[in-house]
């Protein structure tokens, strides 16, 4: 039984890697689509990106990053002014407070520099494992799996996981993906989720991995059954 389970695990990992390599061939430039020049800018951008598109965030941040260049700048400004500067990203009151509290912690506990380890990053306001993994991948060269809504949806559809919780999804993917590809594979799933494997109407016939996916030609599974009276 143990040998059989080990063989099944190897087969699943091999299938997973083949799926990801096919997707990588379609999206060779898949990457973080938030614009930034340093860890502080990416930290702020990822906080703004919660329940907001990267495109919208990228429209807001050029002026924002020109105005606020250091953690001190974010802490010193009146929160209502910061709210106005980020209003179009939605949930601007909560996001402004998270940015200020995170920057205050960076000044008080991390010498004014965005920390480069998971435990320190998730201790900052507005930073969960997804945001921390973005920062670790992009700015500190530390591989991490970025489980956003697209990554979670595709990981389940492709049979990489059965979990709903992002942390458990991350743990399942860590067992399947080579560590050096954690970041690039995450971005690849996001790109595929945005262009083909859509939430409500996946374009299964256009998918390059439909023959290896347990989900193809079943878009009705993404829709809730209509209520009966």
Active site residues: 130, 148
Rounded Cα distance between 107 and 146, Å, is 26
3-state secondary structure of 212: helix
Rounded Cα distance between 31 and 138, Å, is 9
Rounded Cα distance between 120 and 74, Å, is 19
Structure tokens at 164: 């709903």
- Residues 175, 151 contacting (CB under 8 angstroms): no
- Residues 174, 182 contacting (CB under 8 angstroms): yes
Distance of CA 146 to the CA centre of its chain: 4
Q: List Cβ neighbours of 100 (8 Å cut-off, separation of 6 or more).
A: 74, 75, 79, 82
Rounded Cα distance between 66 and 49, Å, is 18
51 φ/ψ sector (left φ>0, alpha ψ -120 to 50, else beta): left
Structure tokens at 12: 């699943």
Residue whose tokens read 């990267």? 54
Rounded Cα distance between 54 and 36, Å, is 12
């Amino acid at each position: 039984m143990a040998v059989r389970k080990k063989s099944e695990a190897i087969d699943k990992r091999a299938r997973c890697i083949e799926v990801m390599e096919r997707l990588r061939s379609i999206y060779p430039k898949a990457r973080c689509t938030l614009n930034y020049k340093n860890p502080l800018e990416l930290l702020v951008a990822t906080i703004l990106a919660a329940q907001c598109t990267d495109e919208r965030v990228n429209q807001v941040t050029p002026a924002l990053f020109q105005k606020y260049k250091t953690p001190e700048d974010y802490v010193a400004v009146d929160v209502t002014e910061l709210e106005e500067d980020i209003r179009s990203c939605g949930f601007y009151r909560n996001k402004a407070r998270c940015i200020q509290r995170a920057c205050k912690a960076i000044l008080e506990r991390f010498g004014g520099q965005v920390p480069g380890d998971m435990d320190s990053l998730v201790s900052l306001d507005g930073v969960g494992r997804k945001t921390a993994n973005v920062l670790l991948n992009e700015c500190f060269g530390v591989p991490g799996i970025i489980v956003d809504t697209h990554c979670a949806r595709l990981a389940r559809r492709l049979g990489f996981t059965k979990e709903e919780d992002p942390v458990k999804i991350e743990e399942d993917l860590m067992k399947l993906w080579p560590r050096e590809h954690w970041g690039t594979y995450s971005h690849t799933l996001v790109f595929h989720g945005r262009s083909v494997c859509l939430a409500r109407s996946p374009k299964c016939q256009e998918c390059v991995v439909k023959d290896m996916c347990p989900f193809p030609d079943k878009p009705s599974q993404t829709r809730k059954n209509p209520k009966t009276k």
